[in-house]
Structures are given as structure tokens and as C-alpha cells.
Structure 1
Amino acid sequence: MVSIVTLAHQHVDDGAKLFVQSYAKQRESMACLPPKYAKHETAAQLLEGILENHPGVATLSDGRLVGYLTGYGMIPNFKSIQPGAYVPEWAHAAADGHDRERIYQFMLENLSRAWIGNGSFAHAITFFAADDALRELFCWAGFGLLVVDAVRVIDPADRLKPAEPEPEIVIRQANEGDLEELARLDNELINYLQRAPTFLFPDHEKEPDTAVEFLGENAFSMVAEKDQRLLACIRGTLRKEDACTIVQDASVMGIDFAYTDPNVRGMGIGRRLLDEILDWGRSRQKTACAVDFESANALGSAFWMKHFSPVCFSAIRHVDPRVAESGDG
């Protein structure tokens, strides 16, 4: 007999086992992913933490846990002017061989009803890129792809071997004399992402500190310059923080900024900058590099997919708030 119950602390142990099994499948195609998330205690700690303040559901088959789903609700202005809910990749799993698709459908139906009741109308979920069945299931449930988290191995012997740009274009590390130009590139990227086809609204509430963002002790920025004007920049970080959980590890460096002037795209500048960023990671004993990007950003997606492999997809759906007003939520 299958039943849906409230996810509770007594389900954490079996839930962690389900996640570890799912993570093992993703690591089969991307062995450089951190091993710590394959440990039962790591998954259990994550689940214990979210259960303190956020609802979740569990599916039991003859009293045994075969699926769970939870997430963070009531996130203000979540990808809209409405509150929303977000499910990380470790906050859901279902056992194979137990009508997995139906289990997810039941859990999503029950938990999304609670989200709507709490006033959360944007629902986002992150899942492993290797899980084609889940990708299709969420598509049928009304979710659309939003963000891709991707990784590449940093091999000591592996270089991109990009073509040399024009002799007049200088590739170098950014310095304090570049702050005004770096701020300009930052603003150009924000404006670019706000327009079609990406339509990404900036979510920072205060002006960024350009010096800290680009030249801080945890950052490494490479730029392309011509005639004292910056044409492009890629920024590397010692850790990838603003991304899916499974790439957040001391062994994984990150990239959190990349922009090239439209007039010089297609000249190999981005590949040259990326090569320098990866060299920086090698010098700091990083074994992998992670990046995340909006799937709707066609130019950005094309570049990153040439050099990185997806490990997680994040999908989102927006529910019409009027369903709550009608009492049908």
C-alpha cells in the first residue's frame, strides 16, 4: 500500500540513502564531482537542516520510504514579484522500481498545494542532468528550463589551445586601473541579460563593490584589452558558491562572470580568457571548474556547452495567483 505523509525526522536516514543512490548515477558520467555528497552523513545533515522550518512530503510503500520531496518556501520576489519555493537537488529523490514517475507526481501535487496555500507561486526545482526521466516529467508538469549548472575537469595536461586574437588585443590579468572599465562591462552584462531572449531581472539590492568582486582575494579576473578599452572579461573564484549544492567544494573552482563585447564575439577571445582562468585553477590544485548559466541565453549557452558538461538543470513554473483567490489551490 502506498501513502503520502508529512516528511519527518524519522525519514531522514532512508531519504539520505535515496539521494546517495541518485548522486552515484550522476557521478558515473562526471567522476570529478565531489565525493562528500556521496556520503550518507552529508545528505542526512542537509535534510535535517531543511526540515526544521520547511514542509515536505514522503511516500511510503508498505511502511518503507520510497520517495521524498521538500524545499524552501516563501522566498520573497522569487523570479517574479511574488514569493516562491525552491527545491535543491538533494531535497528530493525516489526509489527505482516503485513507479517512480507516479511517486513524483503525487509528491509534487501535495507539496505544491501547500506552497500555494502559503502564497508561494513560483516553483523551481533542481535535478541531476543525467536524469532524463525527471526532465521529461517536470516538463509535462508545466516546468520550463531556467538554469544549467555545468562542470569540466581541470586536467594538468589539458588546454583549450584557442586561436590567438588580433595582435592589437592584449590578454592580461585585471588590475586596479581597470575598475571603471570592469564596472562598465558589469553593467553591460546586466543590461544584456535583461533583454530578449533571457529576460533576467537583476536580483541584487545594492551596488556591487567592483574592487572586491573582480580583484578580491578569492577572485581572479582575466581581461581582453584594445586601445585602453576592455573588450571582455572572465572572472574565476576559488569556490563556486552561487550554484547547485553538489559543486560547492574546496576542490572545485568557479566562474561567476563572463562577458564579451558584441563587436568582437567569435574571435576566440572567450576561449583564450577561459584557458587562463583554468590555468589559475590548476595552480591552486583545483580538480574541476563549475559554471552556471541561463538556458535562454543562446550565445552564453552555446559557449559554455562547448567546454563544460551539465550536471544539474533547474526548472521553474509560475502559478496564476488567482487560483488561490478562487480557493482551488
Structure 2
Amino acid sequence: MYYTYLKNSHIEEVATIISTNYKNARLALPILSDKYENIEMHIKRIQKYIDNDDFVLAVESGKVAGFMYGFKINEFKGTAKGVLSIPSIHGIADGYDKNYLYSELYRRASDLWVNTDCYTHAMMMYANDKDAIDSWVMSGFGMLVIDAVRSLDEIIVPNTDNNILIRKVEITDLINMEYLFKGIDEHLSSTPIYLYNHINENYVDEYSNWLRTEGNMLWIAEIGNKIIGYLKTNITEINMDELDDGYTMGINGAYVLPEYRGQHIMARMLNTAADWAIENGLKRCSTDFESANIEARQFWLKHFTPYCYSMIRRIDERNHLNLISMGDK
């Protein structure tokens, strides 16, 4: 086996590996879209990486055994530059030892990344691929974000409190929701999540502008005149491109005041949103959340099935900078 970079002769084999890996993910979770099974789509997308030295390939007996590439990001999960590799730009062909081959690909790719001062490395992989997940854990990666999906079936909610009203937001409601928007920002930046987030001082304008886009919805839970929670859904801001097929309702915001949790309020809002999605011809609902978000993890994993894991590793740049310094002597 030898390692090289992407050439035109490799394109179809790489696209086939991407498509096959996704077919396996969809076989494990049929609710997923069939979008990424299209080999021709992958061929067109991969062509732009031809002759790119950063697109690392493993080749054996003239056949592509595996490949790895990553997008470079400034200030990635911190002040350092980093690299993100999504499932459509890394993969191992059937029949190969994923633990071994991913490790060898990462050995070479990480050298390229670190030598361009990228010290935060993140890998996204389909949840069904246990061998790939194990290989990245052994390479020093830990869980960061979980993408999950569910059908639009109703969640059975026991002991419904009829005093809680679930409805679609009105623009005039936003001025009375600022404490909710501040609440989620404070929650995400607190222990043990520590998600850096720029605090917006003008939530009303932000959400008013966001609601102008067709398909963007805020669902709220209300007791009397008090709004106690919200669910933010859309059809255009789907986190995973694999599911961005026009049939997915994405969730990218949710919060219930702590004192009202345990009353199935979020499930009730999700049911109302799902009814809207069904009426509009959608097929599924997706969400993503930080795995360190304990409250979110408990709720979403109860009602959704993971389909993609994002794992992260932070390189100690001092060793690399020391090697550079030694080389200058």
C-alpha cells in the first residue's frame, strides 16, 4: 500500500466509497434521505480536489483503499485554527481494517494540518460505523456534537396539563421572550458545556428578521400570559447536507424554563411542530446538540436516533512550535 494525493483516475472510486458508506448508514436508519446515495453528485463534488496535496489517499494494487481531507477553519472551537472532516471527504473501502487505515491516513493528514498551524481536529462519522468510531477514540478523539433524526410520529405525552397552551409565535410575543433567549445563551455557556456564543443584545430584531423566511417557525408554550418555553424549527438550515433534501424539518433552538421542566412541554411543542411538518409534506425531523449538554442529551436521545457523531481532538501546539524552533537553529 502507498499514500498519495487525489488524481482524476481516483474520482469514481472515491465517490463509490462515499456512496457506499452512506448506504450503510441508511440501511441502519431508513428514515435518512437517499440524497447521498447518488454517485454522480459525489463525482462532481470531489473533482474540485484533484491534484490537491492535502487530499490524502491510500492506494493498494491500483485501487483506492481509503482517503481523508479536511476543511480549514479559523478560530475553531477556540482561538487556534483547526480542521473539520465531514463524512463526504473521508472514508475506507469495504474489506479494509478501518482501525489501521484510518490511523495511517490520520498520521499523514494530521502532519499536513499541524504544519499549517491547525491544532484543533474534528471528525464527523455516521453513528452506525462502530469500527470508525473506535478508531477515532483510539487516536485521541472525544465526543463533541450529536446529530439525530426521528420520524414525524407523535410522541405520547402522559398527564397533559391543559393549562399549558402550545401555539405558533406572533411577532408581538418576542418582546416577552428575551429572558428565554438569554436563558439558552447562559445555559450553553455554563458548566459543563462551555459553548462560546456571542451574546446578542437585540433578540427581538434578530428573531423578527429570522421569522421573515418562509418555513422558519417559533413554537411557544404558554401558561396564562407567561411564555415558558420555545422550539425553533426551519426547513432551510439543516445541519447535515445529507438530510437537506426538502423533506426535513430542522431544529436549531429549544428551551424551557428550569422550573417548568419535567412536564413534557418540549415534547408537546415538538408534536405541534410535527403536525405542521406533516401538513407541509415533510418526512422527518433532525436536530444537533452538544453531547456535554446534559439536559439536551437526556431529551433528544429519548426521542431521536443519532445518525452522525462529531468528535474532536486538540493538539498541544507547544510541541510543534518547539520543533520549528529547533529546526531554525
Provide the C-alpha distance between the structure 2 equivalents of 1:93 and 1:277, rounded to a whole number of angstroms: 35
Provide the secondary structure at the position in 1 that maps to 2:80.
coil
The alpha carbon displacement at 1:30 in A equals: 1.5
Change (3 A) 1:216 1:52: farther
In structure 1, the residue matched to 2:108 is 110
In structure 1, the residue matched to 2:278 is 282
Cα pair 2:4 2:59 within 8 Å, conserved: yes
Indicate which of 192, 196, 214 corresponds to 1:217.
214
Matched, 1:229 2:226: yes
Provide the secondary structure at the position in 1 that maps to 2:75.
coil
Change (3 A) 1:280 1:126: same
In structure 2, the residue matched to 1:246 is 242
The alpha carbon displacement at 1:226 in A equals: 2.1
Question: Normalized against structure 2, the TM-score is what?
Answer: 0.92
Cα pair 2:98 2:131 within 8 Å, conserved: no
Task: Give per-residue Cα distances to partners, 1:275-324, cap 9 Å, x unaligned.
Answer: 00111110110011111111111110111111111110000010011122
Which is worse superposed, 308-317 or 160-169?
Answer: 160-169
Unaligned runs of 5+ in 2: none
Provide the C-alpha distance between the structure 2 equivalents of 1:204 and 1:24, rounded to a whole number of angstroms: 40
In structure 2, the residue matched to 1:326 is 322
Provide the C-alpha distance between the structure 1 equivalents of 2:102 and 2:323, rounded to a whole number of angstroms: 24
Indicate which of 161, 166, 169 corresponds to 1:171.
166
Question: Normalized against structure 1, the TM-score is what?
Answer: 0.92
Cα pair 1:147 1:295 within 8 Å, conserved: yes
Unaligned runs of 5+ in 1: none
Provide the C-alpha distance between the structure 1 equivalents of 2:159 and 2:198, rounded to a whole number of angstroms: 36
The alpha carbon displacement at 1:77 in A equals: 0.9
Identity %: 26
Cα pair 1:54 1:71 within 8 Å, conserved: no
Change (3 A) 1:205 1:72: farther
The alpha carbon displacement at 1:53 in A equals: 7.0
Provide the C-alpha distance between the structure 2 equivalents of 1:186 and 1:164, rounded to a whole number of angstroms: 28
Provide the C-alpha distance between the structure 2 equivalents of 1:172 and 1:205, rounded to a whole number of angstroms: 25
How big is the alpha-carbon RMSD for the aligned residues of Structure 1 and Structure 2?
Answer: 2.1
Cα pair 1:169 1:224 within 8 Å, conserved: yes
Aligned residue type for 1:315: M
Aligned residue type for 1:172: R
Change (3 A) 1:317 1:203: farther
Cα pair 2:5 2:53 within 8 Å, conserved: no
In structure 1, the residue matched to 2:139 is 141
Provide the secondary structure at the position in 1 that maps to 2:271.
helix
Cα pair 2:98 2:135 within 8 Å, conserved: no
Cα pair 1:149 1:291 within 8 Å, conserved: yes
Cα pair 1:190 1:202 within 8 Å, conserved: yes
The alpha carbon displacement at 1:56 in A equals: 1.4
In structure 2, the residue matched to 1:96 is 94
Provide the C-alpha distance between the structure 1 equivalents of 2:97 and 2:8, rounded to a whole number of angstroms: 24
The alpha carbon displacement at 1:328 in A equals: 7.3
Provide the C-alpha distance between the structure 1 equivalents of 2:160 and 2:253, rounded to a whole number of angstroms: 20
